[in-house]
């Protein structure tokens, strides 16, 4: 089972013609979690690419997550599944995938945080910090909610919304440490170079965070 505590850069990507090459390039650039997040194509169109990504991510040594469907995750041998507030429950995912699987849960407000922490989710996501086309109709939460979620959580909290090489340093300075990236890589002319720039900015910001002395 993968530990997510030290994994900092979580990619969400939909179906695309160059999917395997794209994932290989961005993982080489520093992405360390991959999710297939396809909101349009039916599951029947996702099976082949999901099988291929499961094999590729296994070879690359990064966790592979399927969005929304624990059934598809089980079928293709993914490391886990990510679900939202309106999807199947974390308990249902556990029933299908078992105790060792990664199960992620989206949260967008404090009213969703405590119920989320009461589940067996492996990690939570918080946001979007700013409104984003990948979450149509959902307003930005601001950094405040993500900070609250991280402070209260006993497991990793991945921040969503507007993460890029230009923004990640300021987010780290505010106290955040785990990030979901979409458009900064999926819309990049050179995804590998964009991933390297983002990872470099992230690592430089993290290296500047003071280490608290042991008590």
Q: Which domains does the chain have, with CATH numbers?
A: 9-105+158-207 (3.20.20.70)
Vertex 99: Cα angle to 93 and 105 (nearest 5):
45
Q: What is the rounded CA–CA span in Å between residue 105 and residue 114?
A: 12
- Residue-level pLDDT at 174: 93
pTM for this structure? 0.93
- Give the Cα separation of 179 and 157 in Å (integer): 8
pLDDT truncated to tens, each residue of the chain (215 aa)? Answer: 789 999 999 999 999 999 999 999 999 999 999 999 999 999 999 999 999 999 999 999 999 999 999 999 999 999 999 999 999 999 999 999 999 999 999 999 999 999 999 999 999 999 898 766 655 555 667 899 999 999 999 999 999 999 999 999 999 999 999 999 999 999 999 999 999 999 999 999 999 988 665 54
Q: Which helix (H) or strand (E) holds 113?
A: helix 110-117
pLDDT computed for residue 133 by the predictor: 64
């Amino acid at each position: 089972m993968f530990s997510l505590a030290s994994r900092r850069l979580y990619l969400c990507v939909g179906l695309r013609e160059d999917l395997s090459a794209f994932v290989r390039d961005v993982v080489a650039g520093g992405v360390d979690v991959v999710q297939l997040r396809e909101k349009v194509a039916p599951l029947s169109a996702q099976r082949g690419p999901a099988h291929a990504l499961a094999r590729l991510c296994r070879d690359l040594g990064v966790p592979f997550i399927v969005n929304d469907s624990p059934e598809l995750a089980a079928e293709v041998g993914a490391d886990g599944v990510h679900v939202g507030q309106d999807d199947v429950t974390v308990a249902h995912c556990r029933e299908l995938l078992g105790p060792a699987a990664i199960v992620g849960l989206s949260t967008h407000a404090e009213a969703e945080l405590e119920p989320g922490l009461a589940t067996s989710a492996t990690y939570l996501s918080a946001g979007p910090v700013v409104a984003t086309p990948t979450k149509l109709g959902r307003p930005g939460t601001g950094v405040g909610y993500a900070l609250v979620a991280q402070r209260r959580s006993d497991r990793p909290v991945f921040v969503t919304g507007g993460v890029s090489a230009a923004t990640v340093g300021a987010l780290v300075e505010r106290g955040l440490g785990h990030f979901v990236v979409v458009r900064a890589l999926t819309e990049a002319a050179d995804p590998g170079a964009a991933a390297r720039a983002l990872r470099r900015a992230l690592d430089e910001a993290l290296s500047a965070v003071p280490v608290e002395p042991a008590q």
